[in-house]
């Protein structure tokens, strides 16, 4: 990076045009102007527009040097009346089709960087006209003006923001002025607006007193909370001054509100100079061949015209007070110009942070501590306030997994990849740089960890609603900003690496596993990292790692039968693949429903879930209805449940196939999912959860595929984030998969013990032979061994064995609490099996890989004979290893 050496200072511009920098301004920045050779002054910056979403459309991966003009300085110093002119591009004014906005979504300030010393800097050169005669005379230009203010996120989803509201005041007027308007040319008027109403409503558009059209808004629904419409219309004006009147008709609904997104007006103006600088371009140049001659009249105040099409290569046409300026240019592409008036230079602004430390992400990202090339395994991205926690987590993975982990701050990324501005594409471009420059495809980066919270609000506007914004590491927001089903926030954006990907259309796939550690303070970040580190430590060992908890919603409507049935089928498949896993089932409809003043409730289910979570389970899966406040319409798990959990060092991976349980990007409302994750005395270590509504059929597919990946038949386990990545890529035609996030460490694997413990004999009878029935009050001897993956005894294995013996499985049936019937008129009930009662639980020593112990069978075991179940768990002494 150019920032790798030298002394650097940063400032910003708030508009687009030619700016003047004086010696006094540089002194205010902190630069020692007295020692500066003006010939070596350089200004870098890439302008204020958003970076393109599509990977292959990004071409700049460092700060660009801009051509500048130094006035004075011939004596070798920069002082007195000397000044610099440069062309700066602000964050507003260029329409973005892929974002439907004229405003940078992520930043209001466009940053530039200045340095001095070393080689001479780029300078504005003299313009060179093409030879040959003009084929087109250009006496006019296209001027584009807009009115847009981003103040309101209507649903607090998506990246669309709106401005003026139409409620009590249902009519507003907007003024536009186009000096020297060519009235014979058509004007393009565009209006984008939205309506929020339980019934249909509309907005009329009037231009200069004449009706242009009506925007008709649909009524809101249970999942769609607004309706947007737009109009593009050719209009005309006999005056430079134009008025657009908007009137919102709520159709008798007093709670209805209309919102303006933006108004834009594009009109032709004569190329006539004035006392202010003027930007202009010939729109038809893109489709016209030959040579055009630009003819600027009333040019006395214009000192020069710059071709600023490429800010790195600016050329100048001088004017010595002539009333006309004529110059020729090749056609075939649109070129941008600015007519400069000395009395109208813009003034740059000084930011809160002016000094920029040297950095070189691209030059150092692949270097190890000895300065040698090493591929990056794991990239950890956070802001400066959470760096300490990030470095702790990085060191943990270096020591535990021998990963090459690189920690990069957002400030560094923005300096180098987006000219100092927040931009989600800058983060993605860094990841792609690492991905594309690996030594081989197989050595490409595997994990991206985003340490920090995120928000639908990139610019801290929600503070006006008494919300503490949590925009630390931004997430990608969908263009759809009205629907809880069609909108999404997603970190998939950072892991989609193919050239044509980036707009997050349905087909974009994940190439790198992504996880987000939710935290908005250093204290919370430190606590979350501690949970991750503890999860991999011996203090988290225990028989709970053999357990999986499945929770199913009840059946309020007939189609919901598929939820509990699917979850039970999943439990059977899991038992077949992983016999060592003990599955606890909490199906709400198998408990007695109770009525209360707040609605139907299952207090015994709440209690059972909390108890089971506190006992511990390696994975917990919930399938059913839910929302930001908890799980199921009967609230079997709530925010209170989340904060009251006490299961330190027995942290599960919690999979919630439901709606909005962890809608983390709304800083105005904490969710039950977030509170579960943030619990510092328990809760979870990882969360596979939804941030918007999920369709039931999608939920079934997601759940089934996740369990296949997380619990394979062999012991080749992948990280939870990698499982989520592969799961999402299994459903490339389903955009609803985007609502699923993994919150946690992307490299973390579930703490499933190795399946290496064998039962060899009961009462000294090998299990290969017929074994006697275990009778009440009889003494039983259990013998076994610990083996390796090949089944060979581990004769050097010593440790502690925990054993749980279960009675035969219990047959149960759901109760059809809500009286829901199927198409045949039958009550919907589910027959299922659960673990039997515990017959024995105890510990024994494992010596040289062998163990045996005795116990007395309790007298209250089940009378009918049936197969019981023995579950083993062993932790090896002095080694970070456990078996089941």
CATH of the domain at 207: 2.60.120.260
Rounded distance between C-alpha atoms, residue 830 and residue 590, angstroms: 9
Q: Is residue 355 part of a domain?
A: no
How far is the first Cα of the chain from the last one, in angstroms, to the nearest whole number?
Answer: 51
Average pLDDT (84-102) is 97
Cα angle 501, 503, 509; round to 5: 45
Q: So what's the pLDDT on residue 724? A: 98
Average pLDDT (436-458) is 98
- Here the tokens at position 176 are 């536009």
Q: Is residue 34 part of a domain?
A: yes
Of 476, 471, 511, 512, give the one whose Cα is nearest residue 491. Answer: 476
Share of the chain above pLDDT 70, in %: 100
Beta-carbon count within 10 A of 252 CB = 9
Q: Is residue 562 part of a domain?
A: yes
Residue 772 has pLDDT above 80, yes or no: no
Rounded distance between C-alpha atoms, residue 49 and residue 97, angstroms: 12
Residue 128 has pLDDT above 90, yes or no: yes
Average pLDDT (354-382) is 96
Q: Are 328 and 291 in contact (CB under 8 A)?
A: yes
Q: Is residue 352 part of a domain?
A: no
Q: Is residue 752 part of a domain?
A: no
Cα angle 445, 446, 447; round to 5: 105
Q: How many CA atoms lie within 13 A of 872 on its CB side?
A: 27
Average pLDDT (316-339) is 96
* Exposed e or buried b per residue across 162-181, where buried means at least 16 C-beta atoms within 10 angstroms of its C-beta: bbbbbeeebeeeeebebebb
Q: Are 688 and 554 part of one and the same domain?
A: yes
Rounded distance between C-alpha atoms, residue 267 and residue 190, angstroms: 12
Tens-place pLDDT, residues 133-150: 999 999 999 999 999 999
Which of 270, 302, 335 is the last residue in one of the domains? Answer: 270
Residue 410 has pLDDT above 90, yes or no: yes
Q: The sheet that has 17-21: what strands, in order across it?
A: 17-21, 83-88, 68-71
Q: The dihedral of CA 495, 496, 499, 501: what is its sign?
A: negative
Q: Are 185 and 115 part of one and the same domain?
A: no
Which of 245, 270, 295 is the last residue in one of the domains? Answer: 270
CA 291 to chain centroid, in Å, comes to 47
Complete DSSP assignment for 238-291:
SSSEEEEEEEEE-TT-TT-EEEEEEEEEEEEEE-B--SS-EEEE-GGGGG--SE
Of 394, 398, 361, 358, give the one whose Cα is nearest residue 379. Answer: 394
Average pLDDT (781-787) is 95
Q: So what's the pLDDT on residue 289? A: 95
Which of 705, 720, 743 is the last residue in one of the domains? Answer: 743
241-249 and 171-177 as β-strands: parallel, antiparallel, unpaired? antiparallel
Residue 781 has pLDDT above 70, yes or no: yes
Q: Are 381 and 470 part of one and the same domain?
A: yes
Q: So what's the pLDDT on residue 536? A: 93
Q: Are 310 and 166 part of one and the same domain?
A: no
Q: So what's the pLDDT on residue 865? A: 72
Q: Are 264 and 282 part of one and the same domain?
A: no
Rounded distance between C-alpha atoms, residue 294 and residue 138, angstroms: 5
Rounded distance between C-alpha atoms, residue 375 and residue 367, angstroms: 8
- Here the tokens at position 69 are 């003009």
> How many separate domains does the chain show?
5
Q: Are 256 and 279 part of one and the same domain?
A: no
Q: So what's the pLDDT on residue 864? A: 66
Q: Are 761 and 675 part of one and the same domain?
A: no
Q: Are 593 and 490 part of one and the same domain?
A: no
Any alpha helices (H) in 598-747, and if so which ranges? 603-615, 639-644, 672-678, 696-710, 720-729
Q: Are 677 and 662 in contact (CB under 8 A)?
A: yes
Q: Are 604 and 739 part of one and the same domain?
A: yes
Of 395, 719, 421, 349, give the one whose Cα is nearest residue 530. Answer: 395
Cα angle 72, 73, 79; round to 5: 95
Q: So what's the pLDDT on residue 432? A: 98
Domain that holds residue 710: 516-743
Q: So what's the pLDDT on residue 770? A: 85
CATH of the domain at 470: 3.40.50
Backbone angles phi, psi at 638, to 5 degrees: -125, 180
Please give the helix or strand (H or E) that residue 525 lies within, else none: helix 522-535
SS3 858: coil
Rounded distance between C-alpha atoms, residue 863 and residue 144, angstroms: 86
pLDDT tier at 463, thresholds 50, 70, 90? confident
What are the helix and strand counts (H, E) for the chain?
Answer: 12, 54
pLDDT tier at 879, thresholds 50, 70, 90? confident
Q: Is residue 750 part of a domain?
A: no
Average pLDDT taken over every residue of the chain: 96
Q: The sheet that has 626-627: what strands, in order across it?
A: 626-627, 630-631, 637-638
Q: Are 734 and 700 in contact (CB under 8 A)?
A: no
Please give the helix or strand (H or E) that residue 397 lies within, else none: helix 387-401
Instruction: Please state the pTM of the whole predicted model.
Output: 0.95
The rounded radius of gyration (Å) of the Cα atoms in the chain is 33
Q: Are 688 and 565 part of one and the same domain?
A: yes
Q: So what's the pLDDT on residue 863? A: 58
Residue 732 has pLDDT above 90, yes or no: yes
pLDDT tier at 861, thresholds 50, 70, 90? confident
- Residue 254: partners with Cβ closer than 8 Å, 6 or more residues away: none
Residue 755 has pLDDT above 70, yes or no: yes
Q: So what's the pLDDT on residue 642? A: 98
Complete DSSP assignment for 184-196:
TS-EEEEEEEEEE
Residue 317 has pLDDT above 90, yes or no: yes
Average pLDDT (785-792) is 92
Average pLDDT (815-824) is 95
Which single residue is written with the structure tokens 């939710």? 518
Which value, to the nearest 10 degrees, does the dihedral of the CA atoms of residues 248, 252, 253, 255 take? 60
Share of the chain above pLDDT 90, in %: 94
Q: So what's the pLDDT on residue 811? A: 95
CATH of the domain at 808: 2.60.40
Q: Are 628 and 732 part of one and the same domain?
A: yes
Of 12, 32, 242, give the one whose Cα is nearest residue 110. Answer: 12
Q: So what's the pLDDT on residue 354? A: 94
pLDDT tier at 77, thresholds 50, 70, 90? very high
Tens-place pLDDT, residues 12-30: 999 999 999 999 999 999 9
Q: So what's the pLDDT on residue 878? A: 80
Report the 3 state secondary structure along 133-145. CCCEEECEEEEEE
Q: Is residue 304 part of a domain?
A: yes
Q: Are 202 and 235 part of one and the same domain?
A: yes
How far CA 818 is from CA of 587, 600, 740, 824, 831, in Å, comes to 14, 10, 30, 17, 17
Q: So what's the pLDDT on residue 859? A: 85
Q: Is residue 511 part of a domain?
A: no
CATH of the domain at 632: 3.40.50.1460
Complete DSSP assignment for 313-339:
S-EEEE-SS-S-EEEEEE-SS--EEEE
């Amino acid at each position: 990076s150019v920032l790798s050496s030298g002394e650097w200072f940063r400032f910003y511009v708030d508009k687009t045009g030619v700016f003047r920098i004086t010696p006094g301004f540089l002194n205010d920045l902190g630069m020692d102007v007295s020692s500066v050779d003006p010939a070596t002054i350089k200004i870098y910056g890439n302008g204020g527009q958003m970076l393109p979403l599509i990977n292959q459309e990004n071409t700049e991966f460092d700060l660009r040097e801009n051509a500048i003009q130094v006035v004075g300085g011939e004596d070798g110093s920069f002082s007195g009346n000397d000044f610099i002119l440069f062309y700066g591009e602000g964050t507003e004014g260029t329409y973005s089709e892929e974002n439907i906005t004229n405003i940078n979504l992520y930043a209001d300030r466009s940053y530039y960087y200045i340095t001095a010393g070393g080689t001479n800097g780029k300078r504005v050169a003299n313009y060179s006209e093409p030879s040959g005669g003009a084929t087109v005379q250009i006496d006019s230009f296209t001027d584009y003006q807009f009115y847009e203010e981003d103040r309101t996120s209507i649903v607090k989803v998506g990246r669309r923001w709106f401005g003026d509201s139409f409620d009590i005041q249902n009519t507003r007027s907007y003024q536009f002025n186009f000096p020297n308007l060519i009235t014979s040319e058509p004007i393009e008027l565009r209006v984008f607006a939205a309506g929020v109403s339980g019934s249909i409503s509309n907005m009329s558009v009037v231009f200069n007193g004449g009706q242009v059209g009506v925007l008709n808004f649909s009524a809101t629904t249970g999942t769609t909370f607004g309706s947007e419409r737009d109009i593009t219309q050719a209009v005309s004006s006999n005056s430079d001054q134009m008025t657009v009147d908007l009137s919102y008709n709520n159709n008798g609904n007093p709670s209805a509100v209309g919102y303006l997104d933006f108004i834009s007006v594009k009109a032709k103006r004569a190329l006539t100079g004035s006392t202010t600088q003027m930007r202009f371009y010939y729109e038809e140049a893109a489709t016209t061949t030959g040579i055009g001659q630009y003819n600027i009249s009333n040019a006395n105040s214009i000192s020069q015209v710059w071709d600023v099409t490429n800010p790195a290569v600016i050329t100048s046409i001088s004017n010595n007070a002539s009333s006309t300026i004529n110059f020729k240019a090749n056609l075939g592409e649109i070129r941008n110009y600015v007519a400069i008036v000395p009395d109208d230079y813009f003034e740059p602004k000084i930011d809160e942070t002016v000094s920029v430390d040297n950095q070189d992400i691209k030059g150092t990202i692949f270097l190890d501590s000895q300065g040698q090339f090493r591929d990056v395994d794991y990239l950890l991205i956070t802001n400066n306030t959470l760096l300490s926690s990030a470095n702790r987590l990085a060191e943990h993975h270096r020591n535990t997994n021998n990963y090459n982990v690189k920690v990069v701050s957002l400030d560094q990324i923005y300096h180098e990849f987006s000219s100092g501005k927040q931009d989600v594409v800058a983060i993605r471009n860094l990841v792609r740089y690492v991905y594309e420059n690996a030594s081989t495809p197989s050595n490409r980066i595997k994990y991206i960890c985003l340490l920090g919270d995120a928000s639908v609000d990139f610019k801290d506007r929600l503070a006006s609603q008494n919300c503490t914004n949590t925009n630390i590491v931004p997430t990608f927001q969908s263009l759809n900003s009205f629907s809880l089903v069609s909108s999404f926030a997603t970190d998939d954006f950072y892991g989609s690496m193919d050239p044509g990907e980036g707009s997050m259309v349905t087909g974009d796939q994940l190439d790198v596993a992504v996880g987000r550690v939710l935290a908005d303070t250093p204290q919370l970040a430190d606590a979350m990292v501690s949970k991750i580190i503890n999860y991999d430590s011996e203090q988290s060992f225990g028989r709970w790692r053999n357990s999986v908890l499945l929770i199913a919603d009840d059946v309020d409507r007939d189609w919901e039968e598929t939820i509990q049935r699917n979850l039970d089928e999943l439990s059977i498949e899991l038992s077949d693949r992983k016999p060592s896993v003990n599955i606890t089932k909490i199906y709400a409809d198998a408990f007695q429903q109770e009525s209360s003043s707040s609605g139907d409730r299952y207090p015994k289910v709440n209690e059972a879930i909390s108890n089971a979570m506190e006992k511990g389970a390696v994975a917990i899966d919930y399938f059913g209805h839910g929302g930001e406040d908890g799980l199921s319409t009967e609230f079997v798990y709530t925010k209170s449940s989340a904060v009251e959990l006490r299961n330190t060092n027995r942290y599960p991976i919690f999979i919630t196939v439901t709606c909005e349980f962890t809608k983390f990007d709304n800083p105005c409302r904490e969710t039950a999912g977030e509170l579960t994750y943030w619990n510092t005395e328990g809760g979870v270590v990882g969360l596979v959860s939804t941030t918007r509504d999920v369709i039931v059929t999608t939920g079934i597919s997601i759940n089934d595929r996740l369990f296949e990946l997380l619990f394979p038949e062999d012991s080749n386990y992948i990280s939870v984030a990698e499982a989520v990545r592969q799961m999402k890529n299994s459903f490339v035609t389903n955009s609803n998969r985007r609502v699923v996030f993994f919150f946690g460490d992307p490299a973390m694997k579930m703490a499933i013990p190795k399946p290496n413990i064998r039962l060899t004999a009961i009462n000294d009878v090998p299990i290969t032979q017929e074994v006697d029935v275990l009778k009440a009050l009889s003494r039983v001897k259990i013998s076994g061994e610990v083996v390796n993956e090949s089944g060979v005894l581990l004769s050097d294995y010593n440790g502690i064995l925990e054993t749980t013996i279960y009675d035969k499985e219990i047959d149960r049936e759901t109760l059809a609490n809500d009286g829901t019937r199927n198409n045949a008129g039958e009550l919907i009930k589910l027959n299922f099996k659960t673990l039997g009662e515990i017959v024995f639980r105890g510990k024994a020593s494992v010596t040289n890989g062998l163990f045996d112990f005795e116990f007395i069978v309790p007298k209250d075991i089940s009378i009918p004979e049936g197969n019981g179940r023995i579950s083993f768990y062993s932790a090896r002494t002095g080694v970070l290893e456990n078996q089941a």
